[in-house]
Amino acid sequence: MEKPNLDLLRTIAVTLVVADHVLVYKGLKGYNIGLFGVYIFFVHTCLVLMWSLERNPHTLNFYIRRIFRIYPFAMLIILATFLLGFPPDRGDEVNYIPLVRGSLKGLFENLALIQNLRGGRSIAGVTWSLPMELDMYVFLPMLFAFTARELAIWPLLIMWVLSVSLLNGMYPGQQGNFFAVLIPDFLPGVIAYVGFRLRRPILPAALLPLLVAVLCCVFVLFPKHRVDWWTSLALGLSLPFFHQIRYGAVQKISKIVAKYSYGVYLTHPFGIFFGIHLLKGYSAWLQIPVLLASVAIMSFAGYHLIEEPFINMGKRMAFRLERRAGVDDLDART
C-alpha cells in the first residue's frame, strides 16, 4: 500500500529527532522537538501496523515479524554503546545518549528491551522508546479485532478521552518513560487507520508539513502540559483528509529516508560523536557533512546487513509456523 504521506511523516519525525540531539549537544536545550518526533513515530507506527494486521491478522505472524524487525539492530547498538564506551555520557541534565555501565542484569534488560518495567535507564538513550513500542504490540491485535467489528471512530475517541481523564488524574504532569502515559499517543494511530477506511481526502498534500509544523510549535510552547496527547490526536484525526503527495523529488527523498529511518534513529548519536564531538572546534561546515555521511553509511550498512536479512528471516519463519498451524488445524478437523 503506497502512502507517500507516511514516508514524508517518518522523514520529518527522524529529522526532528536528529536535529534536537544536535541542538542539545550544542547546549541549546529545552526545545523538545525530538520528543515530538518520537510521538509522530508512535502515531505512524500504530497506523502502519494496523494495515499490516489487516493484510495478515494472524497474531503469531505479527509478533514474529515485529521481533525480527525491532530487536537485531537495537541489540547491536546497545552492545556497541556498552562495550565501546561511546557516545560519551554527558550527565543527566543532557538527554543525549547516556552510557549506563551497570550490572549484567541491566545489560540483559536493555537487550530484551524491558528496562522500562523496572524503571531502569537505557544504555543507548535513543532506545527508550522501543520498550514502549513493544508494550503497544500487546494491545494492537486486540484493537484491530475491535475495529474489524466496530468500524467507527467514536468508540476509539471515547477510549482516548477515558485514558486521558484517568491518566491525568493518576499521573498529573508525568513525563516518565512508562507505557501508561503514552496510551493517548498510540491510540490516534488506530483512529487514523479507521479514518482512512471511512474518509476521503479533501486537503492538499502541501498542507501536511504545515500541520506538523503548527503541532510542533504547540508542543514546544507548552512543554509542561500533556500537550503531546492533543497533538497526537490532532495528527491521527487529520491524516486521512490529506491527498497523497505527488511531488517527485519530495516523494523520492522521503521514501529513501523512511526506508533507512530506523537505522538513522539508532545510529545518529554515533554520527554526532564522529561529526561534532571529535571535530570540536572545527566549523559546522565540516561537522555537519561528517555527521550526515557517517549516519548515512551506518544506517545503509545496518539496513542491508542486519535489518533486511532479519526481516526476511522473520517473514520466512512466520510463514512456516502459520502454514504448520494451518496444517495442524486441518488435521484436527479431519
What are the cell numbers at 277? 564531538
Task: Please give the Cα distance from 223 to 49 (Å, whole number).
Answer: 29
Q: 203, 223 in Cβ contact below 8 A?
A: no
Domain boundaries, the chain: 4-266
pTM for this entry: 0.90
pLDDT in tens, the chain (334 residues): 678 999 999 999 999 999 999 998 887 776 789 999 999 999 999 999 999 999 998 999 999 999 999 999 999 999 998 888 766 544 333 334 444 445 788 889 999 999 888 777 888 889 999 999 999 999 999 999 999 888 999 999 999 999 999 887 776 655 555 788 899 999 999 999 999 999 999 999 999 999 999 999 999 998 766 899 999 999 999 999 999 998 889 999 999 999 999 999 999 999 998 998 889 889 989 999 999 999 999 999 999 999 999 999 999 999 888 777 664 554 444 4
Non-local (6+) Cβ contacts of 180 within 8 A are: 167, 170, 171
* 127-142-44 Cα angle (round to 5): 45
